Amino acid sequence: MKINFSDARPQDADVLAFIVTKTTFADFTFPLENSDIVHATAKLARFEGAAGQSFLLINEEGGKLVRIILVGVADGEAGDYQKAGGDIVAKVQTSGAKHIAIHGANLSAKAAAEAAYGATLRNWRMDKYRTKLAETSKPTVETLTVASAPADASTLWPSYHAIAEGVALTKELVTEPANIIYPESFVERCKHLAELGVEISVLDDKDMAALGMGALLGVAQGSRRPARLLVMKWGGTGGSQERPVALVGKGVTFDTGGISIKPAAGMEDMKWDMGGAGAVAGAMKALAGRKAKAYVVGVCGLVENMPDGNAQRPGDIVTSMSGQTIEVLNTDAEGRLVLCDALHWVQEKYNPEYIVDLATLTGAIIVSLGSEYAGLFSNSDELADKLTAAGKASGDPLWRFPLSKAYDKMIDSPIADMKNIGGKGAGSITAAQFLGRFIKDGVKWAHLDIAGTVWADKAGPLWDKGATGFGVRLLDRFVADNFEG
């Protein structure tokens, strides 16, 4: 969908959209031929301009019938204008309409840009494998124009567009099936970031074996798909920021559970067990696309977890790159094994001051938070506060959980340095405690368990049913608010 900003409403627009508040709607004069009728019809349908309300009607304008959409927002509410834009697109995406015009004269520059941003996010969907899709189910909207908005709206748009492109990459990676996206092809899908100035490097399984990444490679040894460590470096400060912000993502491109195999029902969902790596890749694209003035390194540990004859067994002991040994009691607790080596490697290689890892790590976080929040664990109150604020501002919300030595004892092993699972309770916390053992003193680290937020069973305000793109907007906002002067 092409986005335009113009001084006047385009003549070929077949959808005219208006974003109002409850306060402004009462006296709002629609720049339409039948303004009074539109106003009265909306009131008759009990549309008042309240936040979240929307209404669609058909009106005659310029000698032709057009769709009129009214959407209500609350003044000053973060995300409202994004949601309004998403609502507008969702109402007409497959209606046969081709050109949406949003009336921007009553909007601020930021509100106008955010409406276009929300529409872009909501418009994304993947239909390339649907060869028999009915014509009435195919997307038809080609263009969205924000008309008569303040001039600054168009200058704000490129940054929003870059973030939307990053979210789209994440949705694409998460949505693709596991026979299409696996460690090697994940890397290939991200190589175009080099065109934006991102430095791409890749460690193959031989490189990782030489470095002693026994934990990560132990997960991959049951698959015919070799493991990869994808490294994306964005040096946006010209060297003035000495230590980077490190973003580390779990990239299990398909998770059967290994020998500790998962139940068959729902296993197809495990194509999105690489949602953390997908979010890191999308965030790197967003940062590079908008030329962020920050030094950021993104690392994705990419493996496939399969129950081959060569797969690791429950009870095996592996040695991580850090030298710490791990008793693998459950091969389905594999994400932490991937992350621990990736976390250690990025500290050895880049000496970051801050590390944020993202992972679809535990089902326990879904029991705790459902799909409304992602879990946040951190050894730094400062970092936790910054991430929480970024989550609230961006629309990717976080809820903090505790870390404690009391929980740490639950993963002590009688024959190795640690085991990869704790007891029956506090599963998300013990997983975070496990990762914390691989963080060096003085490094500010946060772990985000995003298992409940990367995939949606029903459409949301900024995504269709399926991949949500969770984490990209959060990471971009975190970097923008804290590392770009």
Q: Looking at residue 62, what is its pLDDT?
A: 86
- Number of Cα atoms under 13 Å in the Cβ half of residue 312: 27
Q: What is the pLDDT of residue 485?
A: 75
Residue that is written with structure tokens 């299409």 in the block = 180
Verify that 248 and 341 share a domain, yes or no. Answer: yes
Tokens (6 digits) for 214: 């026994």
Please name every residue paired with 145 in a beta bridge, in sequence order, or none if there are none.
Answer: 4, 101
> Are residues 174 and 201 located together in one domain of the fold?
yes
Q: Are residues 328 and 373 in the same domain?
A: yes
Distances in Å between the Cα of 170 and the Cα atoms of 163, 174, 215, 313, 450 are 11, 6, 26, 32, 13
Residues in the chain: 485
Indicate whether 275 and 369 sit together in one domain.
Answer: yes
| Least confidently predicted of 30-39, 256-265, 348-357, 393-402 | 30-39
- Vertex 94, ends 49 and 148: CA angle to 5°? 50
Active site residue 262: yes
pLDDT(345) > 80: yes
In this structure, are 324 and 433 located in the same domain?
A: yes
pLDDT digits (tens, 9 = 90+) for 148-160: 999 999 999 999 9
In a domain, 214, yes or no: yes
Percent of the chain scoring above 70 in pLDDT: 99
Alpha-carbon span 227 to 66, nearest angstrom: 53
Q: How many domains does the chain have?
A: 2
Is the Cα dihedral 357, 359, 361, 362 positive or negative?
positive
Residue 175 lies in a domain: yes
Q: Is residue 155 part of a domain?
A: no
| Residue 418, both tokens | 């640690």
Instruction: Kindly tell me if the per-residue pLDDT of 465 is higher than 70.
Output: yes
Note if 224 is an active site residue. Answer: no
Checking DSSP bridges between strand 228-235 and strand 295-305, what pairing results, if any? Answer: antiparallel
Q: In the prediction, which pLDDT does 79 show?
A: 66
Section 333-342 average pLDDT = 98
Domain of 180, CATH number, reads 3.40.630.10
Q: What pLDDT is stored for residue 126 in this prediction?
A: 96
Q: What is the pLDDT of residues 251-296, one digit of tens each?
A: 999 999 999 999 999 999 999 999 999 999 999 999 999 999 999 9
Same-domain check for residues 216 and 101: no
- Give mean pLDDT, residues 185-202: 98
pLDDT of residue 35: 93
Query: What pLDDT, in 10s, does the model give residues 356-393?
Result: 999 999 999 999 999 999 999 999 999 999 999 999 99
Q: What secondary structure, in 3-state letters, does the chain show?
A: CEEEEECCCCCCCCEEEEEEEHHHHCCCCCCCCCHHHHHHHHHHCCCCCCCCCEEEEEEEECCEEEEEEEEEECCCCCCHHHHHHHHHHHHHCCCCCCEEEEECCCCCHHHHHHHHHHHHHHHCCCCCCCCCCCHHHCCCCCEEEEECCCCHHHHHHHHHHHHHHHHHHHHHHHHCCCCCCCHHHHHHHHHHHHHHCCEEEEECHHHHHHHCCHHHHHHHCCCCCCCEEEEEEEECCCCCCCCCEEEEEEEEEEECCCCCCCCCCCHHHHHHCCHHHHHHHHHHHHHHHCCCCCEEEEEEEEEEECCCCCCCCCCEEEECCCCCEEEECCCCCCHHHHHHHHHHHHHHHHCCCEEEEEECCCCHHHHHHCCCCEEEEECCHHHHHHHHHHHHHHCCCEEECCCCHHHHHHHCCCCCCEECCCCCCCHHHHHHHHHHCCCCCCCEEEEEECCCCCEECCCECCECCEECCCCHHHHHHHHHHHHCC
pLDDT, residue 78, reads 60
Does a structural domain hold residue 80? yes
In a domain, 365, yes or no: yes
| Residue of 98, 262, 293, 400 marked active site | 262
Average pLDDT of every residue of the chain:
96
CA 260 to chain centre: 29
Asked if 146 and 166 sit in the same domain, the reply is no
Q: At how many degrees (to 10) do helices 427-436 and 335-350 cross?
A: 30
Angle 308-309-313 (CA atoms, 0-180°, nearest 5)?
Answer: 90
Specify whether 276 is located in the same domain as 413.
Answer: yes
Residue range of the domain that includes 367: 162-483
Same domain, 263 and 168: yes
Residues 184 and 207 in one domain: yes
pLDDT of 467 higher than 90: yes
Please indicate, yes or no, if residue 88 is contained in any of the structural domains. yes
Average pLDDT over residues 48-65: 94
**Same-domain check for residues 107 and 187:** no
Placement of tokens 């709607």 in the chain: 25
CA distance 191 to 201: 9
* The CA-based dihedral angle spanning residues 423, 425, 428, 433, taken in that order and rounded to the nearest 10 degrees: -50
Residue 221 covered by a domain: yes
Q: Degrees (nearest 5) of the Cα angle 20, 107, 3?
A: 105
Is residue 288 assigned to a domain? Answer: yes
Whether 140 and 192 share a structural domain: no
Single residue among 150, 171, 199 that ends a domain in this structure = 150
Alpha-carbon distance of 482 to 455, in angstroms, equals 28
Is the pLDDT confidence value at 323 over 90?
yes
The amino acid that residue 4 corresponds to is N
What is the torsional sign of CA 342, 344, 346, 349? negative
Domain boundary among 96, 116, 150: 150
Put residue 287 in one of left, alpha, beta given phi > 0 → left and psi -120 to 50 → alpha.
alpha
pTM of the model: 0.97
Q: Rounded to 5 degrees, what are φ and ψ at 26? A: -55, -35
pLDDT 10s digits, 225-253: 999 999 999 999 999 999 999 999 999 99
| From 83, 125, 336, 386, the catalytic residue | 336
For residue 69, the domain's CATH number is 3.40.220.10
pLDDT tens digits, 57-113: 999 998 899 999 999 999 876 669 999 999 999 999 999 999 999 999 999 999 999
DSSP lists the bridge partners of residue 80 as: none
- Give the residue from 150, 185, 218 where a domain finishes: 150
Q: Are 332 and 318 in contact (CB under 8 A)?
A: no
CA-based nearest residue to 163, from 288, 5, 69: 288
